[in-house]
Amino acid sequence: MKKQKIPWPFGNKKEKLNAWFSFVIALVTGAVVVATCVYSFSFYYSTNNFQASGEIKDCPYGHTFYDDPNLSYSIGDLIENWDEKRAEWLKHHPGYIDGAANRVLLLTGSQPSQCGSPVGDFFLLRLFKNKVDYCRIHGYDIFYNNAYFHPKLDKLWAKPAAIRASMLAHPEAEWIWWVDVDAVITNMEFKIPLEKYKNHNIILNGRPDEVFEKRSWVGINAGVVLFRNCQWTMDFLNAWVSMGPISPDFQRWGRIFVSTFSDKTDPRSTDQSALGYMLLKQYDKWGSKIYLENDYCFQCYWDMAVDWLKKATNSYANIEMNVSELKRRHAELDTQSYGDLREIYLEQGGYGKKTGRRPFITHFTGCSPCSGKHNPIYDGDSCWEGIEKALNFADNQVLRNFGFLRPDLSNASSPVYPI
Ligand SMILES: *[C@@H]1O[C@H](CO)[C@@H](O)[C@H](O)[C@H]1NC(C)=O
Ligand SMILES: *[C@@H]1O[C@H](CO)[C@@H](O)[C@H](O)[C@H]1NC(C)=O
Ligand SMILES: *[C@@H]1O[C@H](CO)[C@@H](O)[C@H](O)[C@H]1NC(C)=O
């Protein structure tokens, strides 16, 4: 069978011609857009002279990095002066300057094809719904990606390419928040403390002692990561991916990781092991800008966190018994302020990560809900029961704002009751 040719990296003549053609079309379209804008602006100005100041905010006049024919969304390609380019873009879109420092795009996704497990796609739908709910409550944007952005970067390495493209597609966002598809947000009220990370560019869950003393490659988890949309991150992504399948030394990197970490036996280079390597061996270059969060469940391993859900149900009910304010009905958009209020009582009651707080993110690492082939170290149905419970636990927080509750956490199709 003839191997299917993948048009990458768009090298042949015909494609070059096509590219030229597209470029010319783009130029003409650009000119028309600019002309239309100028025209409509002058029209607007002449008819609404008294209130014309800055009203037509998002009219795409003015040149930005998007007009650079050399701009490449592809991982591995060089991009320079990204911070200036982003700032320049924002200048042309003044409506987005306010709040820019805290703007977040949640990025998640799954394989381009149907799931192997008959219930896999239903799980994916509900896992996606969970993230959409959180984003709606917190005013975040979300992109669910179903494509591999580089033919060599699939499965274990798809992430960096999607992050790079998202940074360029969303210059208005300060943070790109990668969340693995199998991670469930189990505290809908919790707001990421972005202020705490103002001096860092990458935030992920990790324990310094595990990484630097035990040299463990699972001392961090690369399944949930905040990336600041800046030049530093662009450079980081290129360095990161240079240890992946696009590198001629891909196999060698896998062996290097086995000899670097005390607990890695599988000689495959994965994004997480490469990130761990950058922390451990290239700390001077990257380390000071990477924050290892372990104070709360930035992502917590499900094996433990599923048990904490029950504890949280009890402690939250106890607090509500004392604080009637927290039982009031309210609009969904007030969820965050009620979260802040609840925080005061959680703090007072001394409830910690393992003793009564809702885990922020419960991550079903190794469960593979799409393929249905979980890691054999997990007993029978513990993965599926855990995911079901976490999803329903989170959904109850959402349903409550809509006036309902599902008492049976083990069954999504069990009835809901008015509260
Ligand atoms: C685009 O890249 C080519 C080749 O690197 C370079 O010669 C050209 O000056 C670049 N164009 C712009 C607009 O930067
Ligand atoms: C609720 O109030 C009672 C009585 O003051 C107190 O003993 C209990 O610890 C409080 N519970 C919580 C969760 O604050
Ligand atoms: C879940 O609840 C529905 C509706 O009550 C019921 O038909 C179904 O059998 C339940 N599933 C399980 C696994 O208990």
User: What are 151-168's pLDDT values in tens digits?
Assistant: 999 888 999 999 999 999
- Answer whether residue 380 shows pLDDT above 90: no
184 lines ligand 2 (CB under 6 A): no
pTM (two decimals):
0.86
For position 34, what pLDDT does the model report?
46
What are the counts of helices (DSSP H) followed by strands (DSSP E) for the chain? 12, 11
State the average pLDDT over residues 323-339. Answer: 94
As a whole number of angstroms, the distance between CA 36 and CA 55 comes to 16
78 lines ligand 1 (CB under 6 A): no
Closest of 124, 142, 120 to residue 132, by C-alpha:
142
Dihedral pair phi/psi, residue 293, rounded to 5°: -95, 125
Tell me the H-state helices in 243-401: 250-260, 271-281, 283-286, 302-322, 335-348, 382-401
User: If you average pLDDT over every residue of the chain, what do you get?
Assistant: 89
For position 162, what pLDDT does the model report?
97
For position 63, what pLDDT does the model report?
87
As a whole number of angstroms, the distance between CA 24 and CA 293 comes to 48
State the average pLDDT over residues 410-419. Answer: 96
Atom of ligand 1 nearest to the CA of 70: 1
User: What are 51-102's pLDDT values in tens digits?
Assistant: 334 444 555 557 899 999 999 999 989 999 999 999 999 999 999 999 999 9
Atom of ligand 2 nearest to the CA of 349: 14
% residues pLDDT > 70 (the chain): 85
For position 42, what pLDDT does the model report?
43
Q: What are the tokens at 279?
A: 């922390």
413 lines ligand 3 (CB under 6 A): yes
> Ligand 2, atom 7: nearest CA belongs to which residue?
322
Closest of 386, 395, 412 to residue 404, by C-alpha:
395
User: What are 211-257's pLDDT values in tens digits?
Assistant: 999 999 999 999 999 999 999 999 999 999 999 999 999 999 999 99
349 lines ligand 2 (CB under 6 A): yes
